[in-house]
Amino acid sequence: MSLCPIDHTALQNTGCPVSANAAAFDPFEGPYQVDPAASLRWSRDEEPVFFSPETGYWVVTRYEDVKAVFRDNILFSPSIALEKITPVSDEATATLAKYDYAMSRTLVNEDEPAHMPRRRVLMDPFTPKELVHHEPMVRRLTREYVDRFVETGRADLVDEMLWEVPLTVALHFLGVPEEDMDELRKYSIAHTVNTWGRPAPEQQVAVAEAVGKFWQYAGQVLEKMRRDPSGHGWMPFGIRMQQEQPDVVTDSYLHSMMMAGIVAAHETTANASANAFRLLLENRGVWEEICADPSLIPNAVEECLRHSGSVAAWRRLVTADTTIGGIDIPEGSKLLIVTSSANHDERHFDNGDEFDIRRENSSDHLTFGYGSHQCLGKNLARMEMQIFLEEFTKRLPHMELVPNQEFTYLPNTSFRGPDHVLVQWDPAKNPERTDPSILDNRQPVKIGEPSKTNLARTVTVDAITPAADGVVRVTLSDPSGKALPKWTPGSHIDVDLGDLSRQYSLCGDPNDLSTYEIAVLEEPESRGGSRYVHRTLEAGHTLRMRGPRNHFKLDPDAERYVFIAGGIGVTPITAMADHAKAVGRDYEIHYCGRDVATMALLDRLTADHGDRLTVHASAAGNRLDIPALLATPVDGTQIYSCGPERLLSALEEACAHWPEDSLHVEHFTSNLATLDPANEHSFEVELRDSGLTIQVAADQTVLDALRASNIDIQSDCEEGLCGSCEAPVLDGEVDHRDMVLTKAERAQNKSMMTCCSRACGTKVTLAL
Ligand code: HEM
Ligand code: FES
């Protein structure tokens, strides 16, 4: 206990406060090496911030605490991120000196104010628009490596592919010439052991030898690049930036970055990929699901990064006395922030230990860190992992883990991946033997964070029946008879119809998850979606759908509901009325249409809600008198409407004197995606957590500007309807243009939809 930071003389009879579990914590062996998240469950539950005498570090294990540490890079300095966790012996230090080893700060362990200017200058090659250029190279390498063993029936995925491909991709990304790749490959592992491992004293010298050689070789390659810095890649780019801003991108920095860049890009991705293959093959059902439906791959990658990430823990130095999770932490303390534990924290991830590729918030994981130092290469890593999985699910779907193999890990605190992953398969069953054309099937790579709500599934069309003139009712079910996801009244699904994606509200029974029901009106102006349903779709066909999502939620606390449906807008209203009846709430339904023959679901509404229903058919002359209906505001009443814009704007006008947010509407369409630069102004967006200020041009959305700066943000509709691009607002007035936020929410100014809303003035500040 000699390392205990607490003054024992002052403790008198209370004894050392380091608990037995904390005293036993050893990140180099035992349970942490087997499964870091499971080994720290006790801590997440009982002692989320504890001092570890074994390492001299304070260990932080809960999601919110780990994220809070990442968020504040001044109070929690990253300067120790690459510090050797095991002190270097004198002999090893001498060995390193022999090679003039002078590794200094790189991005990841640089404090402000030096870090952000450098990050900004060097960020461009990581933006999505630049990364797309690497996709053919990653695909080519992946194909070549799989070709080597696809006919053999057995492989060690790590040795035969996952180690080398990410390294080669990293070298390409950095712009290292092919002829130097082999040499650099040799040295890279030594660096991990040197930084995060616990090499025995005799091993330390050998490791130092390799690291020294790595340093020298990196210097030579850099010199060669300097002679002609016109090439592609991050290093030549850095050299060119140095010519423009020599104070920001220094010589010593470039040399260190050359070496650290390889490690940052290589082992992290190699390990993450090996973890992903192990996890997916151990969960055979999930593996088979992504083989059958490769569009699930981007989400599977994200869930693998959450569940079994390749960076298990990261480090920060406390620069002033503070508290974390209610525990006082003195200035100068070192923190081990255990991202692998945070990623399993039930307080943030429901059933955190479960591997669920349809999890809504997988991408909240902290495997890439967070805030101003968040991994710059995250989207290159995601791209590689997606392409690997695509190639294997296509070519070796029948591959399985060799039974009873023992997975071993290089003992260290941070970088985590199995040394070997042995797989086997029967080459006679390789799909490409019977159908070589499968090799041409390609999934689009999803650059950036996959959308929570963008998970596709296949459904079978059970029946298509007439529901009114020009309207059909379509029932859908899971092809294997599994229950469909739960939904609430007001939810819709996105259905792919030919090349189009269309949204339809669910109108069936939310308690019956064996089928979904939608009603589709054939629209003369249809861009093809409704015509396809009416003319081409048949029972027995399959469709791809995403969702359900709900942006038209029923307020459960309202005392009374007024439902107003216009035409096919009756679909969500039907589900809402069913719910109001089921929970015994007072409600009335006004259903407006041209004539009753065209009004879908009328029979059902009449049967189930007859006494509550008023039908307004304009052809019969009984049009709804909206001003009369809403003349007197009624306390506790909430109005819900879905229908054409004409109806919704009339309602908005008629509700002007009602309490704020009494009216809830769902629009069929939106024109928010069109931006008229002549009528817009440019403004600044400050990103507080990332330490960036970005410009949004008059012809650009905030969403586009965020993406161009490598900030991940989800989006689905990109026209202000769905809410997936929401960002938290800290300061600055927002010109809200979406159809998601209520008036009260707009007035609070706590969040904005980045795909359409803008700044009223010259600046907004976001918590991103
Ligand atoms: C930083 C993880 C792949 C380049 C980081 C950090 C982590 C991380 C944990 C520190 C974050 C923080 O302090 O908030 C990973 C994982 C990867 C991966 C798990 C693969 C699955 C890559 C790749 C590249 C890369 C492929 C380069 C092509 C960087 C750089 C930084 C960084 C340059 C420093 C950013 C800064 O401090 O401003 N990464 N990384 N990483 N990573 Fe990655
Ligand atoms: Fe749908 Fe912005 S992406 S509201």
User: Tens digit of pLDDT for each residue in 599-657?
Assistant: 999 999 999 999 999 999 999 999 999 999 999 999 999 999 999 989 999 999 999 99
Q: Is residue 119 lining ligand 1, measured as CB closer than 6 Å?
A: yes
The Cα–Cα gap between 488 and 551 comes to: 10
Closest ligand to 741 CA? 2
Q: What are phi and psi of 477, to 5 degrees?
A: -145, 170
Q: Give the rounded distance of the alpha carbon of 532 from its chain centre.
A: 33
Which of ligand 2's atoms lies nearest the C-alpha of 756? 2
Three-class SS of residue 495? strand
pLDDT at 129: 86
Range with lowest mean pLDDT among 85-89, 683-687, 721-725: 85-89
Q: Is residue 721 lining ligand 2, measured as CB closer than 6 Å?
A: yes
Q: Which two tokens stand for residue 596?
A: 């009753």
Residue 459: which pLDDT band, with cuts at 50, 70 and 90?
very high
Give per-residue pLDDT as tens, 173-220: 999 887 777 777 677 766 766 676 667 777 888 888 888 998 998 899
Give the distance (Å) from ligand 1 centre to CA of residue 261: 9
> Is residue 13 pLDDT above 60, yes or no?
no
**Second CATH level (architecture) for the domain 677-766:** Roll (3.10)
Give the distance (Å) from ligand 1 centre to CA of residue 368: 6
677-766 and 456-549 share a CATH fold: no
Q: Is residue 369 lining ligand 1, measured as CB closer than 6 Å?
A: yes
Q: Which of 253, 337, 375 to mutate to test the pocket of ligand 1 (most atoms within 8 A of CB)?
A: 375
Q: Is residue 753 lining ligand 2, measured as CB closer than 6 Å?
A: yes
> Is residue 10 pLDDT above 60, yes or no?
no
Which of ligand 2's atoms lies nearest the C-alpha of 722? 1
pLDDT at 669: 66
Whose Cα sits closest to atom 38 in ligand 1?
373
Q: Is residue 173 lining ligand 1, measured as CB closer than 6 Å?
A: yes
Using CA atoms, how far residue 324 sits from 36, 41, 47, 70, 74, in Å, is 21, 18, 12, 12, 15
Topology at the third CATH level for domain 560-666: Rossmann fold (3.40.50)
Give per-residue pLDDT as tens, 379-416: 999 999 999 999 999 999 999 999 999 999 988 888 89
C-alpha count within 13 angstroms, C-beta hemisphere, residue 548: 26
Q: Which of 167, 368, 372, 412 to mutate to test the pocket of ligand 1 (most atoms within 8 A of CB)?
A: 368
Residues 6+ apart with CB under 8 A from 627: 654
Q: Is residue 367 lining ligand 1, measured as CB closer than 6 Å?
A: yes
Q: Is residue 377 lining ligand 1, measured as CB closer than 6 Å?
A: yes
Give per-residue pLDDT as tens, 494-547: 898 876 778 899 999 999 999 999 999 998 776 678 888 998 999 999 998 888
Q: Is residue 718 lining ligand 2, measured as CB closer than 6 Å?
A: yes
pLDDT at 192: 67
Beta bridge partners of 52: 57
Give per-residue pLDDT as tens, 325-372: 999 999 999 999 999 999 999 999 989 999 999 888 898 999 999 999
Give the distance (Å) from ligand 1 centre to CA of residue 83: 16
Q: Which of 449, 718, 746 to mutate to test the pocket of ligand 2 (most atoms within 8 A of CB)?
A: 718
Residue 227 burial (CB < 10 Å; 0-12/13-18/19+)?
Answer: exposed
Using CA atoms, how far residue 142 sits from 139, 166, 310, 454, 611, in Å, is 5, 10, 20, 26, 65
Topology at the third CATH level for domain 456-549: Elongation Factor Tu (Ef-tu); domain 3 (2.40.30)
The candidate with the shortest Cα–Cα distance to 641, out of 566, 742, 539, is 566
The Cα–Cα gap between 731 and 311 comes to: 33
Write the DSSP symbol of residue 418: B
∠ at Cα 450 (444, 452), nearest 5°? Answer: 135
Q: Is residue 715 lining ligand 2, measured as CB closer than 6 Å?
A: yes
- Measured in residues, the chain has a length of 768
By DSSP bridging, strand 560-566 and strand 586-593 are: parallel
Contact of 576 with 590, CB cutoff 8 Å = no
> Is residue 313 pLDDT above 90, yes or no?
yes
Q: Which two tokens stand for residue 756?
A: 């359409």
Give the distance (Å) from ligand 1 centre to CA of residue 382: 12
Give the distance (Å) from ligand 1 centre to CA of residue 388: 19
Q: Which two tokens stand for residue 253?
A: 């920095």
Q: Which of 739, 755, 757 to mutate to test the pocket of ligand 2 (most atoms within 8 A of CB)?
A: 755
Give the distance (Å) from ligand 2 centre to CA of residue 700: 15
Q: Is residue 312 lining ligand 2, measured as CB closer than 6 Å?
A: no
Q: Is residue 755 lining ligand 2, measured as CB closer than 6 Å?
A: yes
Residues 6+ apart with CB under 8 A from 647: 564, 566, 569, 592, 641
The candidate with the shortest Cα–Cα distance to 368, out of 384, 380, 386, is 380
Q: Which CATH number fits domain 90-440: 3.20.20.120, 3.40.50.1370, 1.10.630.10, 3.30.70.20?
A: 1.10.630.10
Whose Cα sits closest to atom 43 in ligand 1?
375
Percent pLDDT > 70 in the chain is 94
Both ends of the chain: CA-CA distance in Å?
41
The Cα–Cα gap between 267 and 385 comes to: 13
Whose Cα sits closest to atom 4 in ligand 2?
720
The Cα–Cα gap between 484 and 459 comes to: 9
The Cα–Cα gap between 394 and 264 comes to: 29
Q: Which of 259, 268, 370, 413 to mutate to test the pocket of ligand 1 (most atoms within 8 A of CB)?
A: 268
Q: Which of 753, 757, 758 to mutate to test the pocket of ligand 2 (most atoms within 8 A of CB)?
A: 753
Within 10 angstroms of residue 570's Cβ, the number of other Cβ atoms is 31
Give the distance (Å) from ligand 1 centre to CA of residue 757: 31
Report the run of H or E that residue 43 belongs to, with start and end.
helix 41-46
Give the distance (Å) from ligand 1 centre to CA of residue 80: 15
Q: What are phi and psi of 517, to 5 degrees?
A: -130, 135
Q: Is residue 386 lining ligand 1, measured as CB closer than 6 Å?
A: no
Give the distance (Å) from ligand 1 centre to CA of residue 686: 22
What is the residue extent of each domain of the chain? Answer: 90-440, 456-549, 560-666, 677-766
Angular region, 720: left φ>0, alpha ψ -120 to 50, beta rest:
left
pLDDT at 2: 44
Which of ligand 2's atoms lies nearest the C-alpha of 703? 2
Give per-residue pLDDT as tens, 253-290: 899 988 888 888 998 999 999 999 999 999 999 999 99
pLDDT at 514: 96
pTM reported for the whole predicted model = 0.79
Q: What are phi and psi of 759, to 5 degrees?
A: -85, 140
Q: Is residue 551 lining ligand 2, measured as CB closer than 6 Å?
A: no
